[in-house]
Structures are given as C-alpha cells and as structure tokens.
Amino acid sequence: GIQVEQSPPDLILQEGANSTLRCNFSDSVNNLQWFHQNPWGQLINLFYIPSGTKQNGRLSATTVATERYSLLYISSSQTTDSGVYFCAVVDSGNTPLVFGKGTRLSVIA
C-alpha cells in the first residue's frame, strides 16, 4: 500500500517563529488532507489539498502531486498551535485515508 512519511518527527519553536512541515508519499493520490490533533485528541481538518496551494490565516499548504510531496507552513506560531500535525492520503477510489506518523509540534512562549 501507499507509504506516507512526515518530517520532522518533533519540532520545538519559540512563539512567533515560522515552520515548514513536510509530507512525502510513495504513489499518486486523489486526496490529501492535513490535520491538527489537539491535546484532547480531536482531529481538526486543516486542508483538503490533493494538489495546488491553499491558505487559511497563518497556515498555508502546498501539494506538488507530480513530485509526491506536500508542505504545511505555519507562520507566526502561537502556543495554541502545539499538538500533532498529521498528513493523510488516499491513493485511489473510495479507500480510507492512510496516515503518516505525524509531526509533534511544541510552541513555547
């Protein structure tokens, strides 16, 4: 099956710093989503982005499908951005999302 690799696995930032999280996948995809899992376990949808670029406030994402990677940008980070960021993909049809191992982000004041 499709493989999803995220980097870095852990990241510590000073409040106000910017960061880039990366997601590589091993095959073509027809769906790619980024999530933030908060400390209570809730997965929050950040982006549905099988290709192209999207922005939402301080967050933006870019997926280059032909090169099989996606990037999540966090600008001016805040302590509330802390948590785990997951990238997940669907390779074909109605198959479920396959998750990467996540990037654990800690933003310190």
Partner 1 sequence: GAVVSQHPSRVICKSGTSVKIECRSLDFQATTMFWYRQFPKQSLMLMATSNEGSKATYEQGVEKDKFLINHASLTLSTLTVTSAHPEDSSFYICSARTVRGSYNEQFFGPGTRLTVL
Residues that bind partner 1 (CB under 8 A): 30-31, 33, 35, 40-43, 45, 48, 86, 88, 90, 94, 96-102, 104
Instruction: Give 58-62's long-range contacts (Cβ < 8 A, gap of 24+).
Output: 61/34
Strands (E), 1-109: 4-7, 10-14, 19-25, 31-37, 43-48, 52-56, 59-64, 69-74, 83-90, 98-99, 103-108
CB nearer to partner 1: pick between 14 and 45: 45
Is 40 or 66 the residue whose CB approaches partner 1 more closely? 40
Give least dist CB 50 to partner 1, A.
9
Q: From the CB of 40, what's the least distance to partner 1, in Å?
A: 7
Q: Shortest distance, CB of residue 13 to partner 1, whole angstroms?
A: 19
Residues 31 and 20: their CA atoms lie apart, in Å, by: 20
